[in-house]
Structure 1
Amino acid sequence: MAKVPRSPPRSKPLLGHDNGQLQSSPIRKRNRAQPQLLFDPMPDRVEPALAALKAKAPAGNFGWEIKWDGYRLAVHIEPKGVRLLTRGGYNWVDRFPAIAEAARELGPATMILDGEAVMLDEQGRSGFNLLQASLGADGRKSGNLTSPAILYAFDILYLDGHDLRGLDYQERRHLLEDALAGHEGAIRLSEEVDADPSALLEHACRLGVEGIVGKNRDSKYRSGRTGDWVKLKCVSSEGFMIVGYEPSNGAHGGFASLLLAAYKGNDLIYVGSVGTGFKESQTLQLRKMMDKLLWKRRQPPVPYSGKHQVIWLQPTLIAEVEFRAWTTDGKLRHPAYKGLREVQDNADVYRIKDGDDEGA
């Protein structure tokens, strides 16, 4: 005969009282749907740590991984829901539904993941132009734009009531690996590669990857470009301000090239033009955008001594441009257009430093 389940025992009396003994309330199981008690308040937003560009790997205790080419995102998994924050602080949860759904599946734990939203080609390589194409023509068409992009997570800043930014990177890395164990969907672990960085960079360049990133395993999480994180690139790719365009003689009404500028101190200076890497649909879309930003002053926005006809523009649009090197007169060598950065992405415009060809 099956045993009859016993009723849960009542709590033992704790204190005496004039009218009898007082008893504690029965212990109830926690409702997992309720938010957990937070020991450290979850930051509303964290400015990201940025990698400093280096010509060679620095000495020290660094871990190395592939450099992903996409949009930097902070994934906030919170008691009230999920947010995907860009560098500019905009919530792009509607633009990356696959990443958002994968984040919900990581709950009910609360956490903040730091990573890169990317689109991969058939060889598994990320490409900024692929990501832009997934969002439409440079992500600027009207309508509800969504992308099937995935996220490679490379750091964890907060976990279940604990702010992890004060921990060493190697400790955060262990917690990140544990949090993502068994998850191979739209949020994936950006794996460390156990190899000499020089050999790893050579291999990455041979495979057509943009470069590698190294992180000091003994460093805390510090926002900005502190030197704790470094990047080594096969081909340089940076953001430059579009300050004008050369009209096209073709019948399609696009443009021949874009004139680019970088910052030197507080001033914009001309660093050359880019006329390759465009698709016809991009040139037409860009031309419409640029014609709304015509420069109406007599002097151009940057000093210019060229002989070409130029339509000058308000310095507003930021182009991501790939290039091989700098010429002796400070111009981009072999530039190719990759796409437009967005205001919400808070993209950096390249800054030239005296005596420093690595930029900022």
Structure 2
Amino acid sequence: MTRVAALPENSQLPVFQIKPMLAIAGQPFDSPDFLYEVKWDGYRGLAYLEERTILQSRNLQDITAVFPELADLHQPVRGRPAVLDGEIIIPRTDGKPSFSLLQARGRLGDPLKIRQAARQTPAIFMAFDILYHQGRNVMAEALQLRKEILQSEVRAAANLIVSQFILNQGISFYEACVNRGLEGVMAKELSSPYLPGKRSPLWRKFRHTLAGEFIIAGYEPGRGERALGALILASYVEGRLIYRGKVGTGFDRGEERELMACLQRLPAAPPPFREAIPELKNPRWVEPRLVCQVEYLEMTPQGRLRHPGYRGLRRDKEPEECSLP
């Protein structure tokens, strides 16, 4: 993924300058001051729409070429130039998002394979906010007004859907989403402005399982036919890496080969933790550049993940984003 200035020089849009607004974790609640919508399991993205479409990841990278089936998002959108915030998802046959299918798409680099995958497992842009409308910055407007603009200006298409929401009933909506096997719910204050790059309690996320992004600080070699035993996980606390445990489940043989190839390309590094970790067996340390998503039951009082399961690399996130209190 590389940055490019793909829109015209006279564009009214600040391409690759807006970082998405982020939410804090919370528990389900009911409130007339909030709206509630599905938390989609995909890649966060901003769509810059003028005479063409430019897709930006949450870490300001151009991912337009990764999803050629989304190259015409500008066509069903009125009020251009516009910037939409949303989630890029790939639905399974039952309609629920598949992060594994999306991750497989994100690994591709060959243009021919990308085009083939776009036909076989096409992505959808699930729009839930609008940041620029008719070239005007509307981020300071209340979310309720931005939603009204979004609903009126975006026509649904095969690759573009406006995320729907409900009012007041956050708890029952969360329970319904959990029962359908969805990742969770987003609660957003109706009067909230859009705060680019900020993690704010004006937006809250309810997950039925805990999940987070962690830095891969190293790995343990596998035994027998397995090349990879476990990934060694870390996150930043006050600028230094803290050990969060290791994960050795959740990746199949294909993902294991890909992970080993990625890890072996990284330069070796000294042990990143101040304290010794007795539970680690023959650790191999690498520069902490890779981020992965992990599901887990809880975090222990010692700051370790309990029953973690690997869910995939997050190429759209930077190690510096992986910080916990």
Scaled by the length of structure 1, the TM-score of the pair is 0.79
* Contact preservation (8 Å) 1:70, 1:116: yes
The residue number in structure 2 matching 1:266 is 239
The residue number in structure 1 matching 2:3 is none
* Contact preservation (8 Å) 2:220, 2:230: yes
| CA 1:86–1:260: 2 relative to 1, 3 Å | same
The residue number in structure 2 matching 1:75 is 47
1:1-360 map, 5 Å? 41-44=12-15, 45-57=17-29, 59=31, 61-79=33-51, 81-106=52-77, 109-135=80-106, 139=107, 141-144=108-111, 145=114, 147=118, 148-181=122-155, 183-194=156-167, 196-223=169-196, 224-252=198-226, 254-297=227-270, 300-302=271-273, 303-307=275-279, 308-342=281-315, 344-346=316-318, 349-353=321-325
Give the letter for the 2:293 counterpart: E
Q: Within 2, Cα distance between the matches of 1:326 and 1:199?
A: 26
* Contact preservation (8 Å) 1:60, 1:216: no
Q: Within 2, Cα distance between the matches of 1:171 and 1:123?
A: 33
| CA 1:338–1:89: 2 relative to 1, 3 Å | same
Between the aligned residues of both structures, percent identity stands at 30
| CA 1:288–1:43: 2 relative to 1, 3 Å | closer
Give the letter for the 2:228 counterpart: F
Shift of residue 309, structure 1, vs aligned partner: 2.0
SS at match of 1:104: coil
* Contact preservation (8 Å) 1:241, 1:349: no
| CA 1:296–1:53: 2 relative to 1, 3 Å | closer
* Contact preservation (8 Å) 1:294, 1:311: no
| CA 1:114–1:206: 2 relative to 1, 3 Å | same
Q: Within 2, Cα distance between the matches of 1:162 and 1:115?
A: 19
| CA 1:229–1:296: 2 relative to 1, 3 Å | closer
> Structure 2: 5+ residue runs without aligned partners?
1-7
Shift of residue 294, structure 1, vs aligned partner: 4.7
Q: Within 1, Cα distance between the matches of 2:267 and 2:132?
A: 45
Shift of residue 91, structure 1, vs aligned partner: 1.7
Shift of residue 122, structure 1, vs aligned partner: 2.4
* Contact preservation (8 Å) 1:71, 1:345: no
Scaled by the length of structure 2, the TM-score of the pair is 0.87
SS at match of 1:171: helix
Please identify, of 56-65 and 276-285, the stretch whose mean Cα deviation from structure 2 is larger. 56-65
Shift of residue 193, structure 1, vs aligned partner: 2.7
Q: Within 1, Cα distance between the matches of 2:157 and 2:269?
A: 52
Q: Which of the pair is proportionally richer in strand?
A: 2
| CA 1:267–1:59: 2 relative to 1, 3 Å | farther
* Contact preservation (8 Å) 1:212, 1:231: yes
1:147-206 C-alpha deviation (Å, 9 max, x unpaired): 42111000011111322112111111011001124x231010111034611111122122
Q: Within 1, Cα distance between the matches of 2:218 and 2:317?
A: 22
1:96-126 C-alpha deviation (Å, 9 max, x unpaired): 1222223334368321111000111222222
Q: Within 2, Cα distance between the matches of 1:218 and 1:195?
A: 14
Q: Within 2, Cα distance between the matches of 1:142 and 1:264?
A: 34
Aligned residues: 306
RMSD: 2.3
Please identify, of 319-328 and 120-129, the stretch whose mean Cα deviation from structure 2 is larger. 120-129
* Contact preservation (8 Å) 2:79, 2:153: no
> Structure 1: 5+ residue runs without aligned partners?
1-34, 354-360
* Contact preservation (8 Å) 1:321, 1:335: yes
